[in-house]
Every structure is written in structure tokens, then in C-alpha cells.
Amino acid sequence: MIAAEIEREFNTHIQFEMASSYLYLSMAAWCDGQGLKGFSNWMRQQAEEERLHVMRFFDFVLDRGGSVRLAAIDAPQATWESPLAVFEAAHAHECEVTRRIHALVDTVLEIRDHAANAFLQWFVNEQVEEEANAADVVARLRLVGDDGRGILLIDQELARRTAPVAAE
């Protein structure tokens, strides 16, 4: 059985991960509108990955006998100044996800919910990759600056990002 406090905080996190998916979908739409199909593809795959994160929390809460209560999601930001700005925003967002995951670990350790702690460790590791993936694109965009050919080369590379695979 899941403690009421953990159930509440996990429900809040479900909303945040779903809002993350919504944000990346908005970023995908903006990139597509700029003619950057590869950047858009990266963001679409990221949106899907966030939805899979939602489902991990969703299933965990239900498996522990808790209730899932989906909350409203605000409209995400719709425009950015540049491809660099959009990826800087994505990286900052991932840092916030990491902060929230670590806060959840602190909470479950306080009440000694070992199952929840084991569950969250997957996310602790995942966030290292999530931050690195966005930071990597930010670094390359800073290298090419305003060079349109450089941006198009990165766009071609990001077009190759494939769909995430759901956990078994």
C-alpha cells in the first residue's frame, strides 16, 4: 500500500511529466514551423519519452494500490527566439525534472518506502542522460552560432533520433 503523502506527490509528478510531454510537443511544432524537421523530430521523440515516464509513475501508483488523479495542464510556451533558445529551455527543463526527482527520493527515504526508492532510482539514472542529451545539442548550437549550414547539419543529425521503447 502506498502512503498518502507519496500518492499525492507522485500524482503531482505525473502532472509534471505530462506537462513536459506537452511542452516538448509545443517545441516540436515551433521547430517544424521554422523548417527544422530534424529538431522537430527530436522534440517529438522527447515528447513521447515523457509520456512513457508518465506511464511508469501511473502504473507504479496503481500497482501499489493508490489512486491516480489526473490534473489540468497549463498551455505551454509556444514560441522561442532561436533553435538555441529552444534547446536551452529544454535543458533547463530537464534540470528542473532532476531537482523534482531528487526531492521525491528525499521524501520516500524519509518514510522508508524502499519500493518507491527502488522505482525512483531508474529516474535518477535517466535524468543524467536526459540532461546530457539536451546539453549536447546546446553545445553544438553554440559552436555553429548563426551559421545556417551548421544548423542544417545538426538538423539532419537530429532527424535520426528514433522512437523511445516502452518498458516491459
- Contacts with ligand FEO by CB under 6 A lie at 17, 20, 50, 53, 94, 97, 130
- Beta carbon of residue 47, minimum distance to ligand FEO (angstroms, whole number): 10
Q: Single out the residue of 146, 4, 124, 123 nearest to residue 52, CA to CA.
A: 123
> Residues 6 or more apart from 28 whose CB is under 8 A from it?
40, 41, 43, 44, 47
User: Shortest gap between Cβ of 54 and ligand FEO (angstroms)?
Assistant: 8
- Identify which of residues 20 and 41 has a Cβ nearer to ligand FEO in the complex: 20
Q: CB under 8 Å to 84, separation ≥6 — which residues?
A: 138, 141, 142
> What is the nearest approach in angstroms of ligand FEO to the Cβ of residue 16?
8
For the CB of residue 163, give the shortest distance to ligand FEO in the complex, in Å: 15
For ligand FEO, the closer CB: 50 or 113: 50
Q: Which is nearer to ligand FEO, 70 or 111 (CB)?
A: 70
d(CA 147, CA 51): 34
Q: Which residue lies nearer to ligand FEO by CB, 88 or 130? A: 130
Helices then strands, counting H and E runs in the chain, come out as 5, 0
- The distance of closest approach from Cβ of residue 130 to ligand FEO in the complex, given in angstroms and rounded to an integer, is 4
How far is the C-alpha of 148 from the C-alpha of 50, rounded, in Å? 30
Find where cell 531537482 sits.
99
Written as nine digits, the cell of 154 is 545538426
Nearer to ligand FEO, 7 or 56 (CB): 56
Task: Determine contact, residues 124/164, Cβ cutoff 8 Å.
Answer: no
